[in-house]
Amino acid sequence: MTLQLMLRAPVRFSIAILVLGCLDALVLRLLPSAIPGSWTRRLGMLLLPLAWVVIAPLARGADNSAQNGKALTSLTRPMVWMAALAIGLGLITLDLFIQRLFFPGLDWHDERMPSGRVLSLTAAQAAMVMGAAGICFFPLLVLEPGLSFKEVRRLSLSATEINGQKTITWFMIGMMLVAGIADSFVPAYGFTDAVWIVFVGVLNYVAYRDIFERQSANSPETVGKASAVVAAHAAE
C-alpha cells in the first residue's frame, strides 16, 4: 500500500526526495567539517521527526487531492513543529543520560561529514523515533489538530502495540539493513537514505489511515475508541 501510494504521486514524492538532498547539502554547509562522533546520531534524532512532519500532509494530498490544501495548512500550526522537536530533543536527552551513566569516560573521535552523511544519520534513527512516538504519531499530529501532544502519542503508541510492535520493529530493522546493503554496493550520496526517509514517512500515514479511518469496526477496543475520537474531530 505504501509503495502504491508513492507511485500514484511520483512527482510529489520525487520532489520531496530532492528537497531532502538539498537540505543535506545545506546542513553540511552550516556544520563544521567534523563534529564529535556522539553528536552525529543525535543530529539525526532531531531532523527525522521534522522530516516526517512534512511528509504526512504530502501523503494525505497524494491519497486524497481534495484534502491537499487543508493538510498542508496544518504545517502552519506551531504545535506541530514543537511536538516534533520535543520527540527529537527527548531522544537526545535520553541518549546523553545513557552515555553519562554507562559510558562516562568514552572518548568520541570527531567524524567528518561527507555528502549524504546527514541523510544517512537521519535515516538510521527511524526505528528509535518510531519506538518513542509510535507508527501513527506524525500523521495524527498533523492531520488531527484537535488532539493534544499527549493524546497523539498515547493513541499512536496504543495503535502500535495492538497492531504488533515487535513485527513493526523487525520490519523496520530489516528494511534498514536492505537499504544499508544497497547503499554500500551502489553509493548514491544519500539518495537511498532520502528514499527510505520518505518511504517510512508515507508508511506512517498509511498505518494511520488504515487503523484510524478504515478499520475501526474490526480493531481492538483501544484503537476503536481512538478512531471514534479522530472521526469526531474530522467531522467538525
The domain segmentation of the chain, as residue ranges, is 2-235
- End-to-end Cα distance, the chain: 28
pLDDT digits (tens, 9 = 90+) for 151-181: 999 999 998 888 766 666 666 667 667 666 6
Nearest to 205 by CA among 149, 140, 148: 140
Cα distances (Å, whole numbers) of residue 40 to 112, 113, 140, 177: 10, 9, 28, 19
Q: Which pLDDT belongs to residue 28?
A: 78
> Rounded distance, CA 59 to CA 71, Å?
9
Residue 150 is given by DSSP the state: H
Q: Copy the grid coordinates of residue 231.
A: 472521526
pLDDT of amino acid 223: 45
Average pLDDT on 24-49 reads 81
Mean pLDDT of the 50-64 span = 94
pLDDT of residue 46: 92
Comparing 43-47, 104-108, 147-151, which segment has the lowest mean pLDDT?
104-108
Cα 139 off chain centre by:
10
Pairwise CA distance, residues 95 & 90, whole Å: 9
Most confident stretch, 24-38, 73-87, 203-217:
73-87
**Cβ atoms 139, 83 nearer than 8 A:** no
Residue 139 grid coordinates? 500523521
111 versus 130: the higher-pLDDT residue is 130
Q: How far is CA 63 from CA 28, 70, 122, 204, 232, in A?
A: 33, 13, 26, 13, 21
Mean pLDDT of the chain: 81
Residue 194 scores a pLDDT above 80: yes
Site of grid cell 506541530 = 80
pTM of the model: 0.80
Which positions ≥6 away from 166 have C-beta within 8 Å? none
Q: Taking residues 106-131, what's their average pLDDT?
A: 79
What is the 8-class DSSP label of residue 209?
Answer: I
108/124 Cα distance (integer angstroms): 19
User: What average pLDDT does this structure show over 10-21?
Assistant: 92
SS3 49: helix
Q: Looking at the predicted structure, is the pLDDT value of residue 73 above 90?
A: yes
